[in-house]
Amino acid sequence: MLTIGVDLAAEAQRTAAAGIEWTDGSARLTSLAVGIDDVQIVALAQGADVVAIDCAFGWPAEFVAFVSAHERGEMSPRSLSGSDWRRRLAYRHTDRAVREVTGRWPLSVSTDRLGMTAMHCAELLAAFEAAGERIDRSGAGRLVEVYPAAALRLWGVQTAGYKTQPDARMRAAESLLGLAPWLDVDDGQRDLLGRSDDALDALAAALNARAHALGHTLPVPDELRPAAQTEGWIALPTAPLDSLTSRSSSSASISATHSS
């Protein structure tokens, strides 16, 4: 099995991708690169079983309705008001599910700095469609939305400060590799993981892709599937890292850490 992880940024310079080849009981990091464009991502994904992308696949449906109504000089129907209503517009159903599991809110695709990257994601998904891919934003197809920082925390990786502090980033990389001794990583890749949080997130996404392929991610509730097909759905891991080396769809669950 081949899984691909993409840490998407607004521009190609900060976009990273990782590929992992899986065999029984072990895995090998076959590719790791930072500074990769959409054409290269689509090409890299050829032959992959699952492609996990770190970015929102869509916007909250109620936010889309609000913006459309506002353009017409109207107010979309609503049952809430004030800050409760604004928070409803800011987060997707999957964001609320992530909050319930992890105790943390993901970045809002409507109101936070994720917006430019989400526009890039829309372009990337269109590029996959142009190449013949069937896109299901709920993760039912080959492409799935992931949240590497949350996945790393759920797996017990030391993530404090890894996005901004070089020493913390090195600790996070060593923590992840220490928890996955079955993953073959060469010296150059190990060095890049310690230097680049984008590379580390791409690796986490590729690992998350394997979890999704094995059925070890948070499923979409039946009543939320229509919303997930337009808004996207974050495939949070539900089993430990060690479960990824087995083809079994059953494994021990992992406990969420509820911290702010």
pLDDT of res. 250: 44
Q: State the pLDDT confidence band at 254, using cuts at 50, 70 and 90.
A: low
Is 60 exceeded by the pLDDT of residue 174? yes
Q: 109-126: per-residue pLDDT in tens?
A: 999 888 999 999 999 999
Confidence class for position 252, pLDDT limits 50, 70, 90: low
Asked whether 202 and 51 are in contact (CB, 8 A), the reply is: no
Q: What is the mean pLDDT of residues 152-181?
A: 96
**Distance (Å, whole) CA 120 – CA 97:** 24
Work out the mean pLDDT of the chain and round it to a whole number.
Answer: 92
Write a three-state SS string for the chain. Answer: CEEEEEECCCCHHHCEEEEEEEECCEEEEEEEEECCCHHHHHHHCCCCCEEEEECCCCCCHHHHHHHHHHHCCCCCCCCCCHHHHHHHHHCCHHHHHHHHHHCCCCCCCCCCCCHHHHHHHHHHHHHHHHCCCCCCCCCCCCEEECCHHHHHHHCCCCCCCCCCCHHHHHHHHHHHHHHCCCEECCHHHHHHHHHCHHHHHHHHHHHHHHHHHCCCECCCCHHHHHHHHHHCCECCECCCHHHHHCCCCCCCCCCCCCCC
Give 83-107 pLDDT, tens digit per residue.
888 888 899 999 999 999 999 999 9
The predicted structure's pLDDT at residue 49? 97
Kindly tell me if the per-residue pLDDT of 27 is higher than 50: yes
* pLDDT reading at 248 higher than 50: no
Q: In terms of pLDDT, which residue wins out, 160 or 71?
A: 160
Task: Give the residue-averaged pLDDT of 225-252.
Answer: 85
CA–CA gap between residue 203 and residue 65 (Å, rounded): 35
What is the model's pLDDT at position 67?
Answer: 83
